[in-house]
Amino acid sequence: MKVKYFLIVIILLLTISKAQEKNMNNPFFKVWNTPFNTPPFSQIKIEDFLPAFEEGMKQHKDEIQKIIDSKETPTFQNTIVELEKSGELLTKVANVFYNLNNTITNDEMQKINQVIAPKLAKHNDDIKLNEKLFEKIKSIYLQREKLNLTSEEKLLLENYYSDFVRGGVNLTGEQKERFRKINEELSVLTVKFGEYILKETNSIGLVIENKDDLIGLPETVIQGAFETAKSKGLDGKWAFTLQRASWTPFLQYSPKRELREKLFKAYINRGNNNNEFDTKNILRKIASLRVERANLLGFKTHADFKLEKNMAKNPETVFKFLNDLWIPAIKKAKSEADEMQKLIYKEGNNFKLQPWDWWYYAEKVKKEKYDLDESMLRPYFKLENVISGVFDVANKLYGLQFVERNDIETYHPDVKVFEVKESNGKHVGILYTDYFPRDSKESGAWCSSFRDQSNINNKFITPLVTNCGNFSKPTTDKPALLSLDEVNTLFHEFGHALHSLLNVTVYPNGKRVPIDFVELPSQIMENWATHPQVLKMYAKHYQTNEPMPDELIQKIENAKLFNQGFETVEYLAASFLDMYWHTLTDTTEQDVISFEKNVLNKIGLIPEIESRYQSTNFLHIFSGDGYSSGYYGYIWAAVLDADAFAAFEETSLFDKETAKKFRTLLEKSGTIEPMELYKQFRGREPKVDALLKNRGLN
């Protein structure tokens, strides 16, 4: 018996020892002795994530409990600041995991996401539904006017209070249990939606076997399709995927109408193919659960719930805003469609313009009216030159320097790393750039971070920021040559990066800004992308290094209003779709296709244009909660950015004083109410005039 007991003890000790050894080898439990404490990607293994998440949640729970158990009178310092300091390990793990899951995902990563999403939802609910913790926050909140708080501290306190109220802390016991269940279900469903659309987007939309079917396509597009096919095991063929960088050039240049239709329909039907990755059941359940959650919290709709914290404040304001823009935008789009229809008839065809024809005939009209087409521009937009250009703009505006760092680890060979410095050499942060598509990567473009800036108790933490895209890849004989749209996207995401790099707050949560303000820093950067003065700085031919000729720059300038009706309408249509999904007032699950059709008919979308996204693939609003009831924010922020850029036009493109004021806006965002911050920059509230002028809608 003693021998048996002794063996059990030995086995137990060995098990504990192995577990401890495993934990000791887990990089998330160690100090990262890397340049600027950047993630040591080569040391991080997939099996490290789950134990790190579990330990992170345990530590966070213990830290929260310590705040709750404190016998001291609740103060900003011992409650709010301690809340801000809590969860450091969990944040560290989550930042790495979710960035990698978006860029180099695989089946194992996705399984971890499926396991951890409901656990994180429960963990967050355990905090936000804790009445004892809320009572401490509430007692500080009720005396906030007497506490001599800074504007950042006051806003942070108000956000904590509203987060707990909106997080269900005032619900009854039964309501809280249902609230938890809804959040858990939503966490699983939104993850699944994103995974399904990734699978659909990475599928091949069109395979071409006959070289005659490639007529009209630029050589770079043909070569790219050939290499895509090869990577998919289709040697000797040409493949076009449903990534925007792949399908858009085909629609622009191919005279093969039936092939354009096939590829376009494959793109818009993502999530709607009645296969294993169909999202209709998922999204209608998401919409229904969001209504139920909003109702539990006393809101009529999910949009009422979400917009309460935005600049727009309520659905009525958003609908009025969208409708006011829709009237001139749809008028302009109709005139653009008429122009293309005339060209179709002029060529001896008798078919009606359809959505899959738009890119092709828009390119023809642009060539006819402005003697400009995409193939003339791409040779001047070598990726490295565009990056150099955007860095030069940041240098001229804010004095920033960007130094490539080959000694800092990356998570994929495509990724480059830059140290960002002030003009005096002071370190600002790190920028990772990841610009090429791959099957393991989400579609679209975005900015994220591995670490946010903060300065709690004078412990200054610098940011680690990422810019990701899915731009045209280099081929065997040509570098990556971007389209004009991709150039604008690169400048856009870099604007987000500047916001993250230059924002200076004491507290990590102080960085939160409303969804209808967050696009201002990104969209204003697009104004520099194609400005003649800036094009002269970076647009150089990839073979000769000759700058873009003045004649070509002028053609770009002349064509700036071209197709603006289409671009505005497709964005507005998606914004309306988002708002109608989220102003549902009951939990009855909708027939997705009928619902969408009714909405688009109601707003008067013309048959020649599709919404920028369809419900079944609308990642912004159904793969997470961030942009739900918030897609209008892009157009809302366009009003802000057009008005803000006008301040530079009224002085000069790189006016030091105006740039200094705008940098202050970037630095302080999240510490002052957005409209007040904007007025400090501009001296007044924004006007819509500049946007209407820029889009030819006035």
Active site members: 493
Surface-to-core class of residue 229, CB atoms within 10 Å of its CB (0-12 exposed, 13-18 middle, 19+ buried)? buried
CA 466 – CA 302 distance, rounded (Å): 31
* Cβ atoms of 572 and 337 closer than 8 Å: no
177: left (phi over 0), alpha (psi -120 to 50) or beta: alpha
CA 240 – CA 256 distance, rounded (Å): 14
Q: What SS3 state is found at 677?
A: helix
Written as one letter, the residue type at 634 is: Y
Within 8 A by CB and 6+ apart from 27, the residues are: 40, 43, 44, 48
Structure tokens given for 679: 């007025």
CA 463 – CA 41 distance, rounded (Å): 17
Structure tokens given for 660: 């200094």
CA 433 – CA 416 distance, rounded (Å): 5
Q: What SS3 state is found at 461?
A: strand
Written as one letter, the residue type at 6 is: F
335 C-beta neighbours (distance < 10 Å), count: 10
Provide the Cα torsion 95, 99, 100, 102; round to 10°: 140
Within 8 A by CB and 6+ apart from 1, the residues are: none
Within 8 A by CB and 6+ apart from 405, the residues are: 35, 417, 418, 419, 430
Within 8 A by CB and 6+ apart from 25, the residues are: none
CA 499 – CA 306 distance, rounded (Å): 23
Cα end-to-end span (Å), the chain:
92
CA 517 – CA 520 distance, rounded (Å): 6
Q: What SS3 state is found at 401?
A: strand
Indicate the DSSP class of residue 685.
-
Structure tokens given for 193: 């939606």
Residue 455 CA from chain centroid, whole number: 26
Q: What are phi and psi of 84, to 5 degrees?
A: -65, -35
Parallel, antiparallel or unpaired: strands 401-404 and 416-421 = antiparallel
Within 8 A by CB and 6+ apart from 97, the residues are: 49, 53, 109, 112, 113, 116
Torsion sign across C-alpha atoms 576, 582, 587, 592:
positive
CA 267 – CA 393 distance, rounded (Å): 35
Within 8 A by CB and 6+ apart from 199, the residues are: 277
- Say how many residues make up the chain: 698
Written as one letter, the residue type at 201 is: T
CA 473 – CA 177 distance, rounded (Å): 49
CA 471 – CA 358 distance, rounded (Å): 21
Residue 164 CA from chain centroid, whole number: 26
Indicate the DSSP class of residue 547.
B
CA 297 – CA 309 distance, rounded (Å): 14
CA 678 – CA 328 distance, rounded (Å): 26
CA 30 – CA 161 distance, rounded (Å): 34
